[in-house]
């Protein structure tokens, strides 16, 4: 006999123990989508404000494009569009 009874039971037990071990999965990354409503038209000054807003978010630890997406909408000064 190639394996004795005890050797076979030890092999089987260790194989089952290894199989049932939980694996460390990568943490789920969530992406937040934030809508940004701006009461201005889309011009150079408004784009500078948007860049400053994004820089402030980066300073707080957000990673734009990875865990945070920004959706900009502009009303062009028309309060009905907001």
Greater model confidence, 17 or 57: 57
Tell me the average pLDDT across 32-60: 90
Domain residues for the domain of 80 are 25-82
In a domain, 51, yes or no: yes
Cα–Cα distance, 62 to 34 (Å, whole number): 12
Tell me the average pLDDT across 69-82: 85
CB 69 within 8 A of CB 34: yes
Highest mean pLDDT out of 5-9, 66-70, 77-81: 66-70
* Residue-by-residue DSSP string for 1-64: --S-HHHHHHHHHHHHHHHTSPP-PPPPP--EEEEEEESS-SSHHHHHHHHHHHHHHHHTT--B
In a domain, 60, yes or no: yes
Residue 25 has a pLDDT of 64
Cα–Cα distance, 79 to 82 (Å, whole number): 5
Total of domains in the chain? 1
């Amino acid at each position: 006999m190639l394996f004795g009874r005890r050797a076979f039971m030890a092999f089987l037990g260790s194989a089952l123990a290894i199989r049932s071990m939980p694996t460390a999965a990568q943490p789920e990354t969530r992406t937040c989508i934030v809508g940004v409503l701006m009461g201005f038209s889309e011009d150079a000054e408004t784009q500078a404000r948007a860049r400053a807003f994004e820089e402030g978010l980066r300073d707080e630890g957000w990673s734009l494009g990875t865990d945070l997406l920004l959706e900009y909408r502009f009303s062009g000064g028309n309060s009905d569009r907001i």
